[in-house]
Amino acid sequence: MISPKLFFEELKSNNIDFITGVPDSLLKNIIAYITDNSSEENHIISANEGAAVALAVGHHLATNKVPFVYMQNSGLGNAVNPILSIADEMVYGIPMILMIGWRGEPNLKDEPQHLKQGIVTENILQSIGIPYQIIDADSDAKKIIAKAKMQALELEKPVAILVRKNTFDDYKSEKTSKSDLELSREQAIEIILNFIDDAIVVSTTGKTSREVFEIREALNHGHHKDFLTVGGMGHTSQIATGIALAKKEEQVFCLDGDGSVIMHMGSLATVGHLQSLNNFNHVILNNLVHDSVGGQKTVASTINFCDVAKACSYSKIISVSTRNELKTVLPEIIAHKGRAFLEILINRESRKDLGRPTTTTKDNKVAFKNFLKG
């Protein structure tokens, strides 16, 4: 396996010292090492993968250096626009190295949201003209980084390193801080699901949806009231809005994360603008981190989400951090006819034995649509 330290030192010795991206579980060890050994300005966890490419463009313009951008392959979609319409050699020609975690690599077992993306990842890179090298545990990282940098500079455009599963050695961050908040995400979700009865639930990508599934299983609720947004991180609130607009007689609960809200924060403006939306409840389970992929910090510690919701014209806004507060405000939230925003400040704990949905995504869709039909 490749030592995260060696990889990072190699970047530094190639004068690559601006790193940005959105985390991926497959890259969590190298990201943890980068986090521990970089300043806040040299390593930026960006809002989304396109934003990371744009940060890299700015860095190159100002320094003439080659920046480094990491992402899960599902983030390639977010990145394609700035890659093709800014960084490509037919536009400005901006050299950078993309490090892409290859989820759903063909013939390896992975979750449904990664399967198609895994199959087409190489095709996408080829069709957008990005030269790439595949890296795995046995690769010579030194050679790969040197070649990537040379190619990026020669071709004046982004080049990629496609990272196979289990490429990097384990590395645990020395900087992880514990939160002393009372509620875990799972406990908060359980309180909500127990309270909201027949409301429609749309849950975000990562552990939130996995926990919704397991709680429903444990409570014998069935899964038909829930749409699990297993992929498409950041789009949960718009899926929920699409449903809420068409189902004005039902209450819709969108269970979101801080990382996921930040990824497409403009969507909050759309929700707030829809004055006729009388049944929308946006819950943000805010743990300040991307817990589902390794606990990397989001920028939520400097965001006042309630102020953002207010500025976007949500009609009722509450923040809670304890079990009692949550139980007290839920009746108020559900009674409110508008666009409610509930931030729940939670700790970073989750079960080691947390499972994954055992029904298929198609089963989920069919049961959910039947429930919506009423």
Ligand X SMILES: Cc1ncc(C[n+]2csc(CCOP(=O)(O)OP(=O)(O)O)c2C)c(N)n1
CB atoms within 10 A of CB 297: 18
Q: How many residues bind ligand X (CB under 6 A)?
A: 25
State the minimum distance, in angstroms, from the CB of residue 351 to ligand X. Answer: 13
Note whether 292 binds ligand X by CB under 6 A: yes
Total Cβ atoms within 10 A of residue 195: 15
Contacts of 109 (CB under 8 A, 6+ apart): none
75 binds ligand X (CB under 6 A): yes
Q: Which is nearer to ligand X, 243 or 289 (CB)?
A: 289
User: Cβ 344 to ligand X, closest distance in Å?
Assistant: 11
Pick the piece of the chain touching ligand X (CB under 6 A) from 133-141, 149-157, 269-277, 288-296.
288-296
Dihedral sign (CA 42, 144, 69, 97)? positive
What would the two tokens of residue 301 be?
Answer: 């510690």
Instruction: Please tell me whether residue 294 binds ligand X under the rule CB under 6 A.
Output: no
Q: Contact with ligand X (CB under 6 A): which of 190, 226, 258, 343?
A: 258
Site of tokens 């406990």 = 187
Burial of 168 (0-12, 13-18, 19+ CB in 10 A): buried
Nearer to ligand X, 114 or 149 (CB): 114
Give the residue ranges of DSSP H helices in the chain. 4-13, 28-36, 49-63, 76-82, 112-127, 141-155, 185-195, 207-219, 236-246, 258-263, 266-273, 305-311, 323-335, 361-373
Stretch that binds ligand X, among 33-41, 69-77, 147-155, 219-227 (CB under 6 A): 69-77
Show the tokens assigned to 231.
Answer: 């992929």
74 binds ligand X (CB under 6 A): yes
Query: In the complex with ligand X, which residue's Cβ is closer, 29 or 208?
Result: 208
Shortest gap between Cβ of 78 and ligand X (angstroms)?
5
Residue 238 touches ligand X, criterion: CB under 6 A? no
Q: Which of 4, 21, 23, 118 lies at the binding interface for ligand X (CB under 6 A)? A: 23
Q: Which of 60, 185, 264, 297 binds ligand X (CB under 6 A)?
A: 185
Q: Kindly tell me which of 281 and 347 has the beta carbon lying closer to ligand X.
A: 347
Q: Dig out the tokens for 330 from the structure.
A: 């839920």
- Which one among 46, 205, 347, 364 touches ligand X, defined by CB under 6 A? 205
- 339 forms part of the interface with ligand X (CB under 6 A): no
- Give long-range contacts, CB 8 A cutoff, 24+ apart: 9-12: 10/141, 10/142, 10/145, 10/146, 11/68, 11/145
CA 189 to chain centre: 19
Q: Which is nearer to ligand X, 167 or 292 (CB)?
A: 292
114 sits near ligand X (criterion: CB under 6 A): no
Angstrom distance (rounded) from CA 77 to CA 80: 5
Q: Which of 259, 272, 338, 357 binds ligand X (CB under 6 A)?
A: 259
Phi, psi (deg, nearest 5) at residue 243: -70, -45
Q: In which order are the strands placed within the sheet that holds 96-101?
A: 43-45, 19-21, 68-72, 96-101, 158-163, 132-135
**Near ligand X by CB under 6 A: residue from 20, 184, 260, 364:** 260
Contact by Cβ (8 Å): 212, 228: yes
Does 167 participate in binding ligand X (rule CB under 6 A)? no
Among 190-198, 202-210, 302-310, 311-319, the segment contacting ligand X (CB under 6 A): 202-210
Nearer to ligand X, 241 or 287 (CB): 287
Closest separation between CB of residue 69 and ligand X, Å? 12
Applying CB under 6 A, which residues contact ligand X?
A: 22-24, 72, 74-75, 78, 185, 204-208, 233, 257-260, 287, 289-293, 298
